Structure 1
Amino acid sequence: MGWRRWALGLGLPLLAIGVFLALFRWDWLIPIVEARASAALGRPVTIEHLHVSLGLITTISAEGLRVGNPPGFEDAPPFATVPRASLDLDVSALIQSREIVIPQVTLDRPSVEVIGRADGSNNYSFKLGGSPPAEGAEPGASPRIGALRLIDGQAHVAINKLRSDFRINAATEDPAGAESRIVAQARGTYAAQPITADLQGGAILNLRDKERPWPVQLDLANGPTKVALRGTVQDPVAFAGADLRLDISGPDMALLAPLTGVAIPATTPFRVTGKLDYAAGAFRFSDVEGRLGRSDLNGRFSITPGDERPVLDADVFSRRVDLADLGGFVGTTPGRVGTPGQTAAQRQALSRAEASPRMLPTAPISIPRLRAADIHLRYRAAAIEGKGMPFDSLGVTADIEDGTIRLHPVQFGIGQGRLVGDFTLTPLENGALRAKGELELRRVDISRLMQAAGAGGSGTLGGVGRIEGTGRSVSEILGSGNGALTLVTVGGNLSSLLVDLSGLQFGNALLSALGVPARTEIECLIADFGLTRGRLSTKTLLLDTQSHVVSGGGTADLGREALDLWLRTNSKRFTVGSLPTPIGIGGTFKNPAILPELGELAARGGAAIGLGILFPPLALLPTIQFGVGENNQCERLTRRAG
C-alpha cells in the first residue's frame, strides 16, 4: 500500500502539470507582454497571438504585432506592423552565464510608416519608459544577436521638414556558397529631389563582432548629386573601425546641405573622394582629393552632430585655384563660361550675371542658413589662376558661430607683398548683418600687377582701409558703409596700371583724354578717400609722373555703383598746348565712361587745387611709410607740400 500512496502522491502533481500544459495557452500572457511593451515604448503595442516552443533553444513567436502611433496621430496606418516575428533564445547560455544570446531573429513582412509634420511633430521619436538602474548598479549586458532574417520588409518615409517622401524595400538574402547579406532599395523624393539608393551589406551575424568586418556597398543619387560608398565597418552599431571610401560628385555643393546638415554656398561642379570614418563623436572625411570647377580640392572635413546644430571643421588646400569657382562664398555667381560640367541652369545664371549692370554682389545673405551649422574653416591656395589675375596665393581662416562670421584673416599674396583683411559680420534681429572690417595692402610689387596686365613695370603699392556697414547683402553693406581708404604707389608704369585696373579699352581712352604719354613712369600716386553712408569721397588724389601731375576729386556711390569723378592734368614744363586738361568720369563701376569736357570741370579742378587737394597732408605720412617704405618720392613730395 505504501508504494501505491507514493505513486499516487507523485502521479497527481504530474497529471496536474500535464493537464495544465495541455490546456495552457501562451496567448494568456499577451496582456502582460503588451502592457510591458507599451510602457517601455510609450505607445500602444498589441499582439494577436503568442507562441513559445520550449527547449535548450527556445523559439518565441508573435503574430499580428502592431506598434501604434503617439497621441495626435491617426491610428491607421500604425507606426509598425509585423505579421510574424520570432526569435531564438539560448536558454543554456542564460542559465550558465546569465548571458542573453539570440542566435536568430526573423521578421516576416514588417512594415513601418515614418511621418514628420510641418509643425515639427513626428511619430518616430520614442519616449522610452522603464525604471532607471539603481545608483551604482552596473548596466546590463547587451544581447548577442546572431543572424537577422528580414523577409520582404517595407518602409514609407514622409518627413515634411526634409521635403521627403520615399519608400524602402529591404530583405536578407542567403546566396549559395556565401554568407547571408542584407539588400535594400529606396525610391522617391528627398529634399524635393528624386532619390534612388541601393545598399548591399554583409551578414548581420553579430552586429558587435569585431572579428568580422561588415562590408558596405551603397550607391545613392539625390537629384544630380551622386554618392558611392565602398568598404567595411568593424562595428556597424557604433560605426567604429570604418574603412570606407566615399565618392561624391554633383553640379553644386549647395545641394549637399540636406545630406550633411551643413549649409554650403553655391559652387561650380565638383567631385571629391576620400576616406570616411567615425571617431570622437564626429564623422570624418579625410585624405580628400578632387576637383571644384577648374580648381583642385584637397584636405579633410569632419562633421560633429549636435543638439542645436552640427559643427563642421575643415582644413582644405588647393595647389591651383580659379577664384571664380569660389564666387558663391562672397555672393556672386560661381564659375565662368566653359567651366567643366556646368549645367544649363548654371550657364544661364552666369549669362544673367554678366548682363547685370551691377558689379557688387546683391544676393541676400541667408542668416538662417548661416545659423544651420557652426563652421571652422582653414583654406590655403598655393597658386591662383585666371586671365589677368594679379594674386599669387590665398589663405583664409573663417569661423561661423551662431550665424556670426569672422574672417581672421583673408590674405592674398601679391609678389613679395600681401593684401590682408579681417572682417566680422554679426546677424541682427531684422535679418541684416552688421559688418566691420579692416584692410591692409603692404609693399605689393607693382611688377606683379603689371604682369597680370601683360605689361612690365616696377615699384611698390601700399594702403589701409576700414569699413563699418549694415545690410542684407555685400552691396547693401557697402552702400550703407562708413570708413576710409588710402592707397599709395611708388614707381611703375602708368599705362600698364590703368589697363590693369580698368581694362584695355577704357584704360587707353583715359590716357588719351588726360593727355599723358602712354609709357610715362609713376613717381608717386596717393589716393585718400573717406566713406560716409556709402559715398566714397575724395580727400586727396595725386598722380606725379616724370612730366605731368594729375589731380582729381569727386565721389563714387557704392550703393548705386555710380561714378562722379574729375581729373585734371598739369604739365611740369609749360609749352604751347600744355594748358590744364580737365575730364570727367561717370557711368557705373561695371561700365565707366569718360564725359565730354565741361566748363564746370575746370572750375571744380581749380577750386580743388585752391583747397589743397593737389598736395597730400602730412597726416598721410605714416600710412605712406607703412605701405611702401621710407625715403621714397611720395614721402619727399608730402614733406615738401607740408
Structure 2
Amino acid sequence: MRNRKILTRILVGVVALLVLIPLLLSVINWNFAKPWISERVSEATGRAFAIHGDLVLSWRKPAQTEVGWRRLLPWPHLRAHDLELGNPLWATTGPTMAKVPQVDFVLNPLALLQKKVSVSGLILTEPDLVLELGKEGQNNWTFKKKDASQAPSPWQLDLRDLSLNEGTVRLVDPVRKADVTTRIDTLDDGSIVWKISGKLDKDTVSGDGKAGALLSLQERDTRYPVEAQLKVGNSTLVARGTLTNPRHISALDVQLKITGASMAHLFPFSGIVLPDTPRFSTEGRVVGSLARDNFHLRYEKFTGKVGNSDIGGTLEYLRKEPRPLLRGEVVSNHLSLKDLGALVGSDSAEEKKKRGDKTRQPPDKVLPVAQFRSERWDKIDAQVRFTGKKIIREESIPIDDLVTTVRLDNGALSLAPLNFGVAGGRFNAELDIDGKREPARARMQVTARGIQLNRLFPKAESMRASLGQIHVNAALSASGNSLAALAASANGEIKGFITEGTISKFILEAMGLNLGSLVVTQIFGDRQVRLNCLAGDFSVKDGLMQARTFVVDTEDAIIGVEGQINLARETLGLTILPESKGLRVISLRSPLHVRGTFKQPDVGVDKGIVAMKAGAATLLGTLATPLAALLALINPGPDQKSPCAQLLAMAKEKPVAPPAEATRTKQKKGVQ
C-alpha cells in the first residue's frame, strides 16, 4: 500500500512537471535569449544577424504522424519578429541580405534527443531576400566555411515543410547585367504562385508560374505539378509538367515550348551557345535533374521550325568541369538555304532587324561584316551532329544530305566533316576557327567532285544535255572575326576544273552569273558555244587572289585570264585574252578588262591592244605546267576521254610561231 502511494505521487509529480514546464516556458520572456541566438547565428554564418522584434513561445499539438504517448507531448511553436541577416562586405546591394518581418515554426522536442533539429510548419511572412553574384564569381548565399581542423557537427537540420507568404527574392548579377525580382506567395490550398520582373542586359524579363502544394519537403517520390512562363526580350519559354523531390529537384519532367527571334538570344539566361537564326519555335520534353551533384537536362524529341525550315532532334546538357557540355543530334527534313544566312550574317537588313541585330552591312560590300560571337565559345563545350536531308533554295539547286558535326572545345569551333551532295556530286569540307585568339584564326579544306552542270542550274534549260562536271580543291587559312575579315586576310590556294558543257549569254543569266554573261556576250555574242574545259588555279595571299592559271577552251576559242581579285577591298582586276581557233570567228579578239567591285563589276574592251599577239598555241604552251598539276583533280575512267586532258595534250605540243611578215600584218590590222 505504501509503495503504491509512492508510485502514485511520482506519477503525479511527473505529470505536474510536464504541465508546469510548458506553462512556465510560455510565460517566460524569451527576449533575453535574443543576444545568445544572434551570436550563435553570426558565428555560424560569418554575417551580422539580429532579431529586432519579440521572440515568443507557445505550444502546439504534435504532428499527426506521431503515435502512442508521443501524441500527448506538446511541441513548442516559436515566433520571431523582424529578423535581419547581413551581406558580405563586397556586396553592392546594401548591408542587408535578408529581412523577415515574421518567422513561425514548430520544433519536435523528442528529435533533439537524437541531435536532430526537426522543423515543421516553417512560415516566412513577407520575407525580402537579395541574392547577389560578385564580379569575381563569388555569391552572398555561400556562408563561412568551417575550419577543416574542426570535427563535423553531430547536429542535423531536418526541414519538413516550408510556406512563403508574399515573399520577394531579388537576383543581382553584374556580370550578366541581371536584376530580376521574383514575388512568391502561398495560396490557401498550399499551392505556390510567383511572378517575375526585371532586366537582363538590355532585355526586359517577365513571367509567372504555379506549383502544386508542397505537402512535405521529405517526400522524394511524389510528383509535384508545375507550370511556368518566362519572357526575356523577344524569347518566350512555356513549361508544364512535374518535379520530384523539391529540395533538390532530383527529377524534372516538363513539356517545354521555346519561341524567339533568334536562337542566339537564349544565351544570356541559359548559358548555351547557339547560332544566330531567323525566328524559331521548338517544343519537346525536358527530363533530367537539377541536383547540384547531378545536374543534367535532356530536351527529348523536340520539333519545330527555324524560319522556313523544319527542325527536330534531341539535345542533352551536362554540367561538367571545366565547362558544361551540350551534345546531341539535330535533323532538318527540309532546310531552307536562306535560313542559314543568319549564321554568317549574310541575311538581309530586314531579317537582321527582326532578330534585333544592329549590324549594318555596308551598301558597297558583299561579304558579311557581322562579327562572330567568339567571346561566348569558351563558356560551353559542344558536340552536335546536324543533318539536313533536303536543302531548299529559290533557284532549286539540288543540294541534299548535308551532314556535319559541330564541335566547341575550349573556345575552338569546328565543323568536321561538313559534307553534302550537290547536283549529282559531293562537297566535302573541314572548317576550324579558334575563337580563343584575337582575332580568331581559321583554317578550311574544301573538296568538290563530280558536280553536274546541267543539274546545278536547272533553270538553264539549254544545258540539260550537258555532261560537264565541276571539280574543286581549296585550302585556306585566315584570321578575323567576320567572314569579310577572314576573306581579307586569307592565304592558300584555290584550284578548279570544269569539264565540258555549254555556255551562252542566256545560260549564264539563267544561272544568275551576270558578270559571266557580260564577258560571254562580248566574246561570242548571243549564240551558244560548247565549253570543252575550264581550268583555274589561284594563289591567295593576304586576301589577294592571283590567277596563276585560268584558261577556258571552247569549240571556237581559247580564252586566257590574267590578274587578281582583292578580297579585302572586294575589287576585280582581271584581263581576259580571247584567241580564235583557226578560221572560226568570235565577236571580240581584243582583251577585256574586268574591273569594279563585287557589288558593281565593270567589263570593258581594251581597243588599244591587238588581240593575242602570240596566238592560241603560244598561250597553251605557257599553261602546260600548271595545267598538268590541275589534272590531278580529275580521274576519268580508262574508257573516258577528258576534254581537259585533250587541252593539256595541245599545251604540250611545241608552239610554232607564224612568219614574221604575217605577224606584223596581223599586228597592224589589230591596231586599226
Query: What's the TM-score once normalised by structure 2's chain length?
Result: 0.82
For residue 66 of structure 2, what is the aligned residue in structure 1?
A: none
Q: Distance in 2 between matches of 1:261 and 1:227?
A: 15
1:114 aligns with 2:124: no
Q: Pick the structure with greater CA Rg.
A: 2
2:379 match: 372
Alignment partners' CA distance in 2, 1:381 and 1:304: 25
Contact (CA 8 Å) 1:324, 1:335: kept in 2 or not? no
Quote the Cα distance in structure 2 between the aligned partners of 1:400 and 1:449: 33
1:157 partnered with 2:166? no
Unpaired segments ≥5 residues, structure 2: 60-72, 653-672
Counterparts of 2:408 and 2:442, CA distance in 1 = 14
In the other structure, the counterpart of 2:660 is: none
SS, match of residue 635 in structure 2? helix
CA offsets, 1:573-622, max 9 Å, x none? 41567773421211222332212334358469879828713785322232
What is the letter of the counterpart of residue 38 of structure 2?
Answer: E
Q: How does 1:495-574 map to 2 (within 5 A)?
A: 495=504, 499=508, 503=512, 505-515=514-524, 518-574=527-583
Q: Does residue 399 of the first structure (1) align with residue 407 of the second (2)?
A: yes
| CA shift for structure 1 position 534 | 1.5
May I ask how many residue pairs the two structures share in their alignment? 624
Q: Return the alpha-carbon distance in structure 2 between the equivalents of residues 120 and 238 of structure 1.
A: 22
2:187 aligned with 1:173: yes
Tell me, yes or no, if the aligned pair for 1:250 and 1:269 is still in contact at 8 Å: yes
Q: Give the AA of the match of 2:31.
A: D
Distance 1:413 1:58 in 2: 76
Distance 1:70 1:633 in 2: 80
- How far the C-alpha of 1:530 sits from its partner, in A, is 1.3
1:58 equivalent in alignment to 2:76: yes
Residue 43 (1) aligns with residue 47 (2)? yes
Question: Which structure 1 segments of 5+ residues have no match?
Answer: none
Mark the CA change 1:386 to 1:23 in structure 2 (over 3 Å): closer, same or farther.
closer
Question: 2:271 matched to which residue of 1?
Answer: 261
User: Is 31-40 or 184-193 further displaced after alignment?
Assistant: 31-40
Q: Distance in 2 between matches of 1:388 and 1:554?
A: 31
* Paired residue type of 2:127: P
**Which residue is equivalent to 1:589?**
598
Q: Which has the higher contact order (CA 8 A, sep 6+)?
A: 1
| Identity level (%) | 25
Letter in structure 2 aligned against 1:69: N
Higher mean alpha-carbon deviation, 243-252 vs 597-606, is at 597-606
Q: Distance in 1 between matches of 2:93 and 2:576?
A: 79
Distance 1:579 1:27, change over 3 A: closer
What are the equivalent positions in structure 2 for 1:228-307 lying under 5 Å apart? 228-279=238-289, 281-306=295-320
Which of residues 221, 231, 234 is equivalent to 2:231? 221
Q: What secondary structure does 2:269 align onto?
A: helix
Task: State the 1:499 CA deviation.
Answer: 2.0
The equivalent of 2:645 in structure 1 is: 635
**What CA RMSD, in Å, does the superposition of the two structures yield over aligned residues?**
3.9
Q: For residue 87 of structure 1, report the CA deviation from its aligned partner.
A: 1.6
1:335-414 equivalences under 5 Å are: 345=354, 353=361, 356-393=363-400, 394-414=402-422
Contact 2:26 2:58 in 1 (8 A): no
2:64 alignment partner in structure 1? none
Contact 2:205–2:233 (Cα < 8 Å) also in 1? yes
Deviates further, 554-563 or 409-418:
409-418
Say if 1:39 and 1:496 are closer, same or farther in 2 by CA, change over 3 A: farther
**Segment of structure 1 superposing worse, 628-637 or 387-396:** 628-637
> SS where residue 281 of structure 1 aligns?
strand
The answer as to whether partners of 1:53 and 1:60 remain within 8 angstroms in 2 is: yes
Q: Of 95, 98, 106, which aligns to 1:88?
A: 106
Contact 2:559 2:576 in 1 (8 A): yes
* Structure 1 pair 466–140 and aligned structure 2 pair: CA distance change class (3 A): farther
Deviations along 1:536-575, whole A, 9 cap, x unmatched?
1112222222333222221111111111112233333415
Q: Is the 8 A contact 1:616 1:638 kept in 2?
A: no
Q: What's the counterpart of residue 426 of structure 1?
A: 434
Q: Secondary structure at the match of 1:565?
A: strand
